[in-house]
Every structure is written in C-alpha cells, then in structure tokens.
Amino acid sequence: MNPRRSESLKVLVAGAGGMLGRDFSAAARERGHDVVGLAHSALDITDSASVERAISLHAPDVVVNCAAYTDVDGAEADERGAMRVNDEGAASLAAAAASVGAKIVHPSTDYVFDGSSRRPYVESDVTGAISAYGRSKLAGETSVAVSNPRHFIVRASWLFGIGGKNFVETMLRLGNERPEVLVVSDQVGSPTYTRHLGEGLAELMERDEFGIHHMAAEGRCSWYEFAQEIFDQAGVECHVMSGTTEMLARPAPRPAFSVLGTERPDPIRLPHWRQGLAEYLAEREAAKHEVVA
C-alpha cells in the first residue's frame, strides 16, 4: 500500500456500519481524508429522496457504497429485494454523486462470474452470474457505470472482517461446539480481509483510473482449506471433513472457481489471505480484551 497523500478528500460512506464500511472509513481517515460515515439507519440507499438530500447536504468529493444486500441464499427467494438494494439503490447513489461531480466507489463481487474458468478472472472477462445475488450485483455494476462516468467498480471476494457475519466467525463458533465440521472443497476463491480491502479502496479513490478493478487477497484456497487454516491459526481442535457443493445443498448456486486476477498495469495488490486471517484473529483478540477492560 502507498502512504497517504497530502490532498484531503471529503468522502461520504453509505453502509458505514458494516464490515467493509467500518474498515474503509478507518483506512480513509488514516490517509488524511474527511469521512462522513452513514449507517443504514442514517441513509437507506433505496430511498432516492434521502440519497439526494444526503449528497446535497455533504457535497462529497467521493461517495463509497458499502451498503449491500449480501444474503446469498436469501436472495434466491427474494431477488426483487436484492435488486432494489444492489442495483436500484446503487444506481441512485451513483447518480446523486454524479450530480455534485463526485466519484463513486462501488464494491462488487466474484459472484458475477459463473466459475467455469480455470485461470484467475481478469476485469475484461465475460461475466455470467449463476445466482440471484450475483445477478443483482452484476446489474448494479452496469447501472453504476451508466449513472456516473467517474466510477470505480471493485470486485472482491470471500470477505471477512470485524463487526459482521463471516465464514471465520462461523467456523470458530462451530469449532468450539463440535468435534468436526463438514466444509466444501470444490469451491475455490481468495478470502479477503476487509481491513486490507478497505485500505486498497482508500488508495484507489485517490486515483482517476475509472472502470472495473479486481481487488482480492493474494493466493487461493477452497473453503475446506480455509477452515483448516482458521483452526490451525486459532489453535482450535476441530476435525475438518471435505464435502461437495452438492452434499451441502444450499439454495443458491456458487461459482466453483472465482479467483480474481487483474490486467491493470498498476494494480493495488492486497496481502496474502493467510496474512489477512492472522491479522483478523489478532484484531478479534484485541477487541475482546478491550471489552473486558
């Protein structure tokens, strides 16, 4: 990551109460920017009038959309709800940003791809979402690009961070409750620590390299391998059994392979996923001691 730059930007963050919103806001402040963080209770991006008022009031240089419908399985039965947030809400935010000349940073997902590739996906690869959630995020990418030419659409993958539901927390809870867990080994991706992604987004918004960017942790693993590493690093005694996607029968289909690469000439590269996990576990432990103190 590059050191912070001298010019301060005014940044409005929608969805500032979530994992990524929290970590991005901290990273942007560390780089010397003026951040206005609005949680869902303060700004519902599906309410276009509220969006326009917030943008008009704060007149930001950059708007960052960390608000999203993220329930992948729930979206299969509620695709309309997912579209309202991930497509229509995102478009409203991007258009309001454009009205004051602001850039828009719009995090997206590896789930816009069908998972049939055997090499990392780059920005120009053909998309083909196979789930309702993926379709809603893909629609949002198009709407954001149309609504604001000064856009950064940033595809990330397998996010985990403090302050939200994530795979690491699920594994640690199950590992302390059961002697063994069953985890799929036929889905491969790059688990990405939201603090690292937040730092990457904070650096990216200072640039004018608009368009689609891929930004995920270095390295790749299956959910099965990720679970093993979680227990190893956390010192939890729990046996991980390998399963298949078909065995777990989740409502939403997942891409079998969704590792993200980049064809950008000067990309922002994030640390390896194992490093992200180690830093997350350390942050989690520190937060526990703060609560006790």
Q: For residues 293 and 291, what is the distance between their CA atoms, to the nearest angstrom? A: 6
* Cα–Cα distance list, 4 to 7, 35, 255 (Å): 9, 14, 36
Which domains are delineated in the chain? Answer: 10-292 (3.40.50.720)
Which residues carry out catalysis? 133
pTM of the model: 0.95
At 63 the pLDDT is: 98
Number of Cβ within a 10 Å radius of residue 130: 18
At 117 the pLDDT is: 96
| Amino acid making up residue 287 | A
At 224 the pLDDT is: 98
Q: For residues 55 and 63, what is the distance between their CA atoms, to the nearest angstrom? A: 8
Q: Which of 147, 80, 125 is nearest to 257 (CA)?
A: 125
Q: Which of 67, 152, 60 is nearest to 105 (CA)?
A: 152
At 196 the pLDDT is: 98
At 163 the pLDDT is: 84
User: First-to-last CA distance in the chain?
Assistant: 32
Q: For residues 162 and 22, what is the distance between their CA atoms, to the nearest angstrom? A: 9
At 292 the pLDDT is: 52
At 2 the pLDDT is: 63
Average pLDDT of each block of 10 consecutive residues along the chain (293 residues)? 72 96 98 97 96 97 97 97 98 98 98 97 98 98 98 98 93 96 97 98 97 98 98 97 92 96 97 98 87 53
| Alpha helical stretches, state H, 86-193 | 90-99, 132-147, 167-177
**Beta partners for residue 181, in sequence order:** 240
Number of Cβ within a 10 Å radius of residue 285: 11
Q: What is the DSSP letter of 131?
A: S
